[in-house]
Each structure stands twice: as structure tokens, then as C-alpha cells.
Amino acid sequence: MKKLLLKEKWPELWALLAHEGPLYLPVEEGSVVLYQLWQEGVKVNLEAVNSTVSPKDIFLPREETYLRYSCQGEMLDLEDVESDEPIIAFALHPCDLKAIEMIDRVFLNQDPPDALYKKRRENTTVVALACRQPDPYCFCGVFGIDPTDAPGADVMAYLTEKGLLLEEQTAKGKILLEKAAPLLEVEADETNITVDVKTQDFGLQVEGLPEDLQERFNDPVWDDLFRSCLGCGICTYVCPTCYCFDVEDYGHEEGGERFRCWDSCMFGHFTQMAGGHNPRPSRKERVRQRFMHKLCYYPETYGEIACVGCGRCLRSCPVNLDIVQAIKALGGEKVG
Amino acid sequence: MGKANPLMPQTVTVLDITTETPDVKTLRVAGKEGIPFDFMPGQCAMLSVPPVGEAIFSITSSPHCRDCLEFSIKRVGDVSGVLHELVSGRQLGIRGPYGNGFPVDEMKGKDLLFIGGGIGLAPLRSLIGYCFANREEYGHIDIVYGARSPADLVRKSEIGETWPEQPDSTVYLTVDAEFPDWSGHVGFVPSYVSELAFTPENRIAVTCGPPIMIKFVLQALEKLNFAPEHVITTLEMRMKCGVGKCGRCNLGSVYVCKDGPVFSLAQLNELPSEY
């Protein structure tokens, strides 16, 4: 049964949940909306579709220290850094949750699992928010995603005129709603839930594209497609299904830490080897790698294109070399 | 979390460091109880010296050596540079083993042809050691090994004495050009392989070396009618995680760190040629 949280009680809920552990929700700052830690006074924006950068950093932080080292003379001491807090991820949209499912396949289901990611996934209660009004750049329908339903969430939420309707989907979700119970209206008579949200399709038709691309690594289309790319990497930064990372040390000889951070296949040094050889020496190989990974390599292993139609690369790419343009250039368009 | 975090290294101690060539040194490292983990020939490990960082190296020693791991390392970058400067007794970080290793079971009963160039002998040496330790499982063993100059040949006592003395095995050495102190064969490794005219019947060829050498060795073996399934090589790519996640060594639907680094030529023919 759905329970109503009246608008005027939202801040009380944020405060209550933030007391339990880190609470991430969409926070508006100037022209950007990012999933950030709630604190008194932040401007929470539940209407925003979509956040400027995907909420993947709740599970795969931009930087994450995982070991501290100290070195005295010949002795090296390595100590792992643990983080074990219960996290609440609030108001994640169905496309972004689908993207998390895609990263799960690589980080949880492939042996060995990524321990840092796994811990965060296990410790997080996810409240999904159904989309009421999609953005002009949204095209999740192309990939069969229902913008009003998020099967992987612990709690499903719906925006209404009066507030937020909440419905538990898992045991974790039940616990969360029990904590919030004093703030919820018992009788939720709201039926004003939009269930028929239409997104763009930009004339795309992606069926059969992954199989088609398997033979097109040397296709002449790659000789031109990359030309406008600036190599800025913003596409990978905002993308909810990009997960490449770097590992670096920070410190001095006596002590410091090792961390991992987001990296991008759009950068030249990404594959640059110590001896000077680079298997992806120019933007051509790097642009091809990014789109082939999303549209061909990932589907070859997992059966689905690694794009959820969130529209972030359409909004962010300074030269409009986004995934819609790439799919079109590769022939993934409706005929007629 | 501890051991469960695959990115978390353990510490090992440098037993000694041997200078092989002007730019190659061999490190022997061990944990408190000998080798820090079991492995198979062809597998790799991440070595790290904070704050310089981590890099991946092939394990040079044979799995039969239980008291230490050996790494023959060419000085090319930051991590290899700092590894060259380490001294006996110093501790460093290690994690692994990574990768699939050579198909030692499929190779059983076959004659073996090992073709190495320069530092490319490092992963082959682990395999050669394994095959000699299980000598009765394998047929005749030929080793073709070359380098730019006599000074650049690594593991001189093994290639010059230990291996040629093994039963039913032959070692062919070559250097790229004439040198005053060299009376052996002169010429590039691929042309030496063609010259020696190995027959493909019941034989598996395993090659490792600089990319340009591998390219021409593969062509030479093709001309000698080796089937792509019977030609094996090992790839080298930049890696950060070693467990198929960070994205650097992605090649089509495989990750070289996890699904490789060992591939048959038949497998490589199915993958994008981006290595």
C-alpha cells in the first residue's frame, strides 16, 4: 500500500533519514543538479529530470581511498580503509537504476566482485522516483525502460500534487518506511499518479545493432565520426553506465594512501604504456572504443546495449557527438 | 573487507636483485612463507612501491619454485624504475595472480617451440621451467631466443647452459647484428624461425617479445603452415585493476588481464586488432 508524505513534511524526512547515515538526494546548485549529501539548507529538487551527472558516484565514488601505507626503512605497512555506513540513495530515476544494474553485472557478478562497490550496494537502501515529466533529451523507451517503474528499488516513490507517495518493494524498503512512519499519512487517497509517460525516440531503432557491429570494427564510418570529438571526456563523466577507473597513490615515501578515481577511455594516456606504445593512439580509436563498448562489446557479454537513454551526453557534449548521433551514424535508425 | 578486496595488496620482501642486461633486472621476492600465492605459467602480478604506484608484470619463475617469485623487469617507466632501485630486504606490495596462463594441459604430448625476443623471455621462462619440471609430459622442446645484442640476452646461464643440457631439447640463440664477442647466429628472430623451418606436425609454438617481432613471427609460422590454434602468444597492455573492471585492457568482449593475457592466434583473429 502506498503511503503519502505531504510536501511540507519533506524536510523532516530528510533530517530523519540523514540521522541514520549518509543521505544522497538531488541537490540543485545554480544550473546543475547533483546527487549530494543532504544537510540543513540544501535545495532539494525532486522535479529535476535528469541530474547533470548520474548518481553512480553513490556506489562508485569519484575518488575513493582504500588503503593507507606507511614505510619505515625497509618495512612497508599496508592497511585497508573500511567504510561501513548504511547509505540512503533517494529519488533515483528508473533509467539510472537500470544503469546500476548494468554496472552490477561487471562489479558484482563477475568473479572477483569489486569489494568496495559491493559493500556500498549492500549498505544502500534505494528509493526510486518515478518520472512524471521527462526531459526533452530523455529516450529511455528506446531501450525498453519504463520511466515510471524501477524493479531494482527498495522503495518506489511517485510525485503528486500533495507530496510523495511511497511504496515498499523489499524488506529493506519496509524498514525504511517503518522509520518514516510517524511522518506518513495513513490514508493515502491520492490516485493522481502519472503512469503513461512518453519519452523521445529520436527515430532510433537499435534492434540487431550489436550483432551488426561485430563485423564493423574496420568500418569507414569510424574514419569520420571522431573528427568533431574534443577528447574532453564529459560524456564518460556524466554517463550512468561508464565505470572505468584509475588507481593512484597520493603521499610521500613515509606514508600516504592509495585511491581509485573515475577515468575515461576518451583520454590518450588511458591506454598509454610505459614503453610508449599506445593501442588506442588517436581520438578515432578512443571514440570507437567508447561506442563499440556500449553498443557491441557489452551487449555481446550481457545481452543489452549499455545505454539507458538518460540524455546526459546529449545535453553535455560540446560538439553534439552524443550516443544518438553515433547510433544514427552506425545505421540504428528507423527506416522510412 | 581485508582479503576480500581484490585491489588490496599484501607485502613481500626483496630477497635479491640481479642485473641481467643494461636495462633488465631480476627481482626475487617472497612473503613470510615463500611464494605469496600459487600461480600458473603466463600469469601476472601487480607490484607496487608507494607513492610511485602499481604496475603489472609477468611472473618469470616456474610454479615449482616454492620459496620465491621472480620478476625480470625492463626499466621503461616509473614503477619499473623504482623497482630497479630497490635493495635486498626492502618490502613492496604485491597482488595476484592475474590472467589465464598458458594452456599447459592442451600442450601435453606435443613438441614445443618457444620463440622469444628480448624481455619477452620473462613469461616464457616460467613456462619453459614448468615444462622441464614435467619433462615426461612434453615432446621435443626447441627454444629460439634473440635480442638486439649479446648484452641484451637475459638469463644467460639458463639459455647458455641449463636449457641446452636438458634431455631432448635444443636452444637456438641469435642477435640482431654482428658483434665482436659473438660467434653465434646473426639475424632477426622471425627470419631465424623461417630458416630453421620447423614443421607444424604435432607441434605448438609459443611466442613472446616486442610487438613488431611477434607480428613477423606469426607471419613466419603461418608460412610454415602452423594452424592458428597451435600458435600461442601473450599480450601486454596497460592495466590498473587486474580483475576485468577498470577498462584499460578491454579488447572487444574480453579483458586481457582476466581472459588473457595468453591467446591463441585463432582467438586473436576473432578480436579487434587493437593491442
Helix H, strand E, coil C: the string for chain A is: CCEEEEHHHHHHHHHHHHHHCCEEEEEEECCEEEEEECCCCCCECCCCCCCCCCHHHHCCCCEEEEEEEEEECCEEEEEECCCCCCEEEEEECHHHHHHHHHHHHHHCCCCCCCHHHHHHHHHEEEEEECCCCCCCCCCHHHHCCCCCCCCCCCEEEEECCCEEEEEECCHHHHHHHHHHHHHCECCCCCCCCCCCCCCCCCCECCCCHHHHHCCCCCCCHHHHHHHHCCCCCHHHHHCCCCCCEEEEEEECCCEEEEEEEECCCCCHHHHCCCCCCCCCCCHHHHHHHHHHHHHHHHHHHHCCCCCCCCCHHHHHCCCCCCHHHHHHHCCCECCC
Query: What is the structure's pLDDT at B4?
Result: 83
Query: What is the structure's pLDDT at B211?
Result: 86
Neighbouring CB atoms inside 10 A of B50's CB total: 27
- Within a domain: A318: yes
Decide: A113 and A55 in contact? Cβ < 8 Å.
no
Q: What is the pTM of this model?
A: 0.94
Overall domain count for chain A: 2
Q: Does B56 touch chain A (CB under 8 A)?
A: no
Domain end: A135, A152, A186, which one?
A: A186
CA–CA distance, B206 with B93 (Å, rounded to integer): 30
Query: What is the structure's pLDDT at B23?
Result: 95
The one-letter amino acid code at A213 reads L
A54 plus A149 within the same structural domain = yes
Q: What is the location of CATH 2.40.30.10 in chain B?
A: 10-97
Query: What is the structure's pLDDT at A187?
Result: 66
Query: What is the structure's pLDDT at A116?
Result: 95
Mean pLDDT computed over A141-148? 95
CA–CA distance, A15 with A255 (Å, rounded to integer): 38
CA–CA distance, A176 with A167 (Å, rounded to integer): 11
Tell if the CB–CB gap between A251 and B250 is shorter than 8 Å: no
Decide: A123 and A159 in contact? Cβ < 8 Å.
no
Q: What is the location of CATH 3.40.50.80 in chain B?
A: 111-234
- Within a domain: A335: no
Query: What is the structure's pLDDT at B267?
Result: 96
Q: Does B243 touch chain A (CB under 8 A)?
A: yes
Query: B189-196 vs B211-223: helix axis angle to the nearest 10?
Result: 20
Q: Does B157 touch chain A (CB under 8 A)?
A: no
Query: What is the structure's pLDDT at B2?
Result: 41
Query: What is the structure's pLDDT at A336?
Result: 66
A285 plus A154 within the same structural domain = no
B3 has pLDDT over 60: no
Q: Does B237 touch chain A (CB under 8 A)?
A: yes
Query: What is the structure's pLDDT at B1?
Result: 40
Average pLDDT, chain A: 94
- Within a domain: A99: yes
A296 has pLDDT over 70: yes
Query: What is the structure's pLDDT at A240?
Result: 98
- Quick: pLDDT tens for A24-73: 999 999 999 999 999 999 999 999 989 999 999 999 999 999 999 999 99
- Quick: pLDDT tens for B111-139: 999 999 999 999 999 999 999 999 999 99
Structural element, H or E, at residue B217: helix B211-223
- Quick: pLDDT tens for A218-256: 999 999 999 999 999 999 999 999 999 999 999 999 999
User: Which residues is A79 bridged to in the sheet?
Assistant: A68
- Please state which CATH number belongs to domain B10-97: 2.40.30.10
Shortest CB distance from B250 goes to which of A77, A276, A293? A293
Rounded to 5 degrees, φ, ψ at A282 are -125, 170
**Where on the phi/psi map is residue B4: left (φ > 0), alpha (ψ -120 to 50), or beta?**
alpha
A22 plus A148 within the same structural domain = yes
Average pLDDT, chain B: 95
Selection from B232, B270, B240 nearest residue B258 by Cα: B240
Banded pLDDT at A281 (limits 50, 70, 90): very high
The residue whose grid cell reads 578512443 is: A286
Query: What is the structure's pLDDT at A83?
Result: 81
Residues of B in Cβ contact (< 8 Å) with A110 = 243-245
B184 has pLDDT over 80: yes
Length of chain A: 336
Query: What is the structure's pLDDT at A84?
Result: 85
Query: What is the structure's pLDDT at A149?
Result: 93
Reading the block at residue A304, the C-alpha cell is 543489452
Strand spans (E) along chain B: 10-21, 24-30, 44-49, 53-58, 69-74, 91-98, 111-117, 141-147, 169-175, 185-186, 203-208, 231-234, 250-251, 254-255, 262-264
A195 has pLDDT over 70: no
Shortest CB distance from A78 goes to which of B9, B55, B275? B9
Query: What is the structure's pLDDT at A194?
Result: 60
- Within a domain: A68: no
Burial of A183 (0-12, 13-18, 19+ CB in 10 A): middle
- Within a domain: A18: yes
Tell if the CB–CB gap between A71 and B50 is shorter than 8 Å: yes
A25 plus A125 within the same structural domain = yes
Shortest CB distance from B248 goes to which of A67, A80, A271? A271
Question: Domain limits at A150?
Answer: 3-58+84-186
Length of chain B: 275
CA–CA distance, B93 with B14 (Å, rounded to integer): 11
CA–CA distance, B16 with B70 (Å, rounded to integer): 10
Shortest CB distance from B80 goes to which of A249, A260, A274? A274
A223 plus A291 within the same structural domain = yes
Q: What is the residue-wise DSSP string for B104-161? A: TTTTTTSEEEEEEEGGGHHHHHHHHHHHHHTGGGS--EEEEEEESSGGG--SHHIIII
Tell if the CB–CB gap between B5 and A116 is shorter than 8 Å: yes
ipTM (interface predicted TM):
0.92
- Please state which CATH number belongs to domain B111-234: 3.40.50.80
CA–CA distance, A147 with A95 (Å, rounded to integer): 7
Rounded to 5 degrees, φ, ψ at B213 are -65, -45
B275 has pLDDT over 90: no
- Within a domain: A38: yes
Domain end: A186, A201, A221, which one?
A: A186
- Within a domain: A17: yes
Closest CA–CA distance from residue A132 to any residue of chain B (Å): 35
A152 plus A297 within the same structural domain = no
A234 plus A182 within the same structural domain = no
Find all residues with CB under 8 Å of B260, minimum gap 6, and list them. B99, B100, B234, B235, B249, B251, B254
Selection from B81, B79, B93 nearest residue B13 by Cα: B93
A214 plus A177 within the same structural domain = no
A147 plus A267 within the same structural domain = no
- Of the listed ranges A190-194, A269-273, A312-316, the least confidently predicted one is A190-194
Banded pLDDT at A209 (limits 50, 70, 90): very high
Q: Does B31 touch chain A (CB under 8 A)?
A: no
Selection from B154, B206, B161 nearest residue B25 by Cα: B154
Q: Does B6 touch chain A (CB under 8 A)?
A: yes
CA–CA distance, A105 with A120 (Å, rounded to integer): 15
A38 plus A179 within the same structural domain = yes
A161 plus A234 within the same structural domain = no
